[in-house]
Amino acid sequence: MNFLVRKIVIASTVILINQATAVIAATPVQAYNPIPLPIGKEIKDNLTKSDFPIGEGGFARDYIVNLRAGDQIVIDLKSDSFDTIVILIGAKGVVIGENDDAAEGTTNSMLFERTTKAGNYIIRVRSFGSEPVEGSFTLKITRLRPE
């Protein structure tokens, strides 16, 4: 390859890289922002394909709640649209507990836990299985022994 052809190839490559960088920079990145969840109040929401993918197939929606050390809680997740799974996640992403089916014959989830440390916890709502499922649900966290 002669010198002039090499310069043209290099210049073309630089232009393509600059254009690709501009496209990547213009693409919005969705920040991870769990939704604040009030204690003692039932919320109605929807699981959608625009929620974050979980790697096992399907999608999840996260909520954040501040709990005290020693809180005894129940998390109640119900849906007529999909088979629910609720997961409680503590510091550094450690799974504290999870529940698929609260009782025989139902696909709703109910999780009882006692916290050992004060801080922010994540409550993850997702559907059972590897297929992406969308649908409405209700979620409630309750302190069993409020102060």
- pTM of the predicted structure, to 2 decimals: 0.77
Reported as a single tens digit per residue, the pLDDT across 126-138 is 988 777 789 999 9
- Classify domain 35-143 by CATH number: 2.60.120.380
In 59-117 the beta strands, taken as DSSP E runs, fall at: 59-67, 72-78, 84-89, 95-99, 109-114
Q: Quick check: 7 pLDDT over 90?
A: no
Instruction: Region of 130 please: left (phi>0), alpha (psi -120 to 50) or beta.
Output: alpha
Domain boundaries in the chain? 1-30, 35-143
Tell me the mean pLDDT in the region 74-80. 96
